[in-house]
Structure 1
Amino acid sequence: MTSITLMDSILPAEHRERLMGIAREVSFDTGTRLFEEGRRADRLWIVRTGVVALDLYVPGRRSPVIESLGHGELIGWSWHFPPYVWQFGAQVTHPVRAWEFDALAVREMCAADPEFGRAVAVWVGRVVAHRLHAARVRLLDLYGLHGSGNHS
């Protein structure tokens, strides 16, 4: 499955430019936890370089990595949907340079301009669909019953 990046045609150029107008450049070292599942989602990032692993809390087990995100990919979508709580965790696995955005500022931009808001919603929605599919596939791979397939 291919990734959904900011540079895709999902978000038109004029909306990308508006969004990038509030970006702040940040960097994170390997091992940095960007966020924890269940905590307040108040930021989002777009990866410039490096890799961030999304993981999922599984009681009694090590948190499996659901997906690794790299150049151009959105880190975080939970900021877009109430109650604004992270649905996954995220940890830097290779040093990251990224653009960081204040979630409240992006939501306010979306509310002020319905066309911009719709474009962002479609982009984030596609990311959510992709991530949920990736989580399902990864969890089936990790915890599915072996030998449960059709034996014709």
Structure 2
Amino acid sequence: MEGLERILAGHPFFAGFEAGHLRLVQGCARNCRFDEGQYLFHEGEPAEEFFLLRHGRVALEIVEPGRKPVVFETLGEGETVGASWLVPPYRWLFDVRAMELTRAIGIDAACLRGKCESDHHLGYEMMKRFLPILTQRLHATRLQILDVYGKR
């Protein structure tokens, strides 16, 4: 197994993924490094890739003009960052900042969307893997809102 394919196969997101589909995804993948304080992406920017975290931690932030960013979740090794690549208009909905040196695999969104369109089984597998992530993030945000606004 080649380097990136081995890394992808070992990431929890791709546990049990079909080998042929993994090779397709590998064609869209690259290694990434983010230094502490560096942003992976900002709200409103094009969602051109998503990230599989291999090392380090990132903060998911909501920014209100004139105020400090609000961290609504932190993610670390073995987790996945960025689902906006799945839904038009393919724009990020929040900022993501590296809290420490972070290594990740970036998956090119346009590349993978094209492969998902050509192979609907691959597309279905990706959707099945992203839906629990989206549900978990929605739940985490809900808990944050209850924590902030529920204390009356």
TM range (shorter): 0.7 to 0.9
Q: 1:125 aligns with which of 117, 122, 131?
A: 131
Matches within 5 A, 1:65-144: 65-142=71-148, 144=149
Distance in structure 1 (CA, Å) of the matches to 2:146 and 2:68: 16
Q: Cα–Cα, structure 1 residues 136 and 8, in superposed 2: closer, same or farther, change >3 Å?
A: farther
Larger relative helix fraction: 2
Where in structure 1 are there 5+ consecutive unaligned residues?
Answer: 148-152
Percent identity, aligned pairs only, is 35
Q: Matches of 2:36 and 2:125 in 1, distance apart?
A: 32
Task: Return the offset for 1:130.
Answer: 1.1
**Distance in 2 of aligned mates of 1:139 and 1:35:** 23
Q: How many angstroms does 1:21 deviate by?
A: 3.8
The within-5 A match list for 1:29-44 is 29-44=35-50
- CA distance in 2 between counterparts of 1:62 and 1:140 reads 20
Local SS of the residue matching 1:94: coil
TM-score in terms of structure 2 length: 0.83
Q: C-alpha separation between the residues in 2 aligned to 1:50 and 1:16?
A: 24
1:134 and 1:17, CA in 2 relative to 1: closer, same or farther beyond 3 A? farther
Amino acid at match of 1:6: F
Give how far 1:139 is off: 2.5
When normalised by structure 1's length, the TM-score is: 0.83
Unmatched 5+ stretches in structure 2: 1-11
> How far did 1:16 drift?
3.7
Which amino acid letter does the alignment assign opposite residue 122 of structure 2?
F
Aligned to 2:13: 6
**1:47-95 alpha-carbon deviations (Å, 9 max, x no partner):** 1101111111235532211111111211110011001011121000011
Count matched residues: 140
Closer, same or farther: CA 131–107 of 1 in aligned 2, 3 Å: same
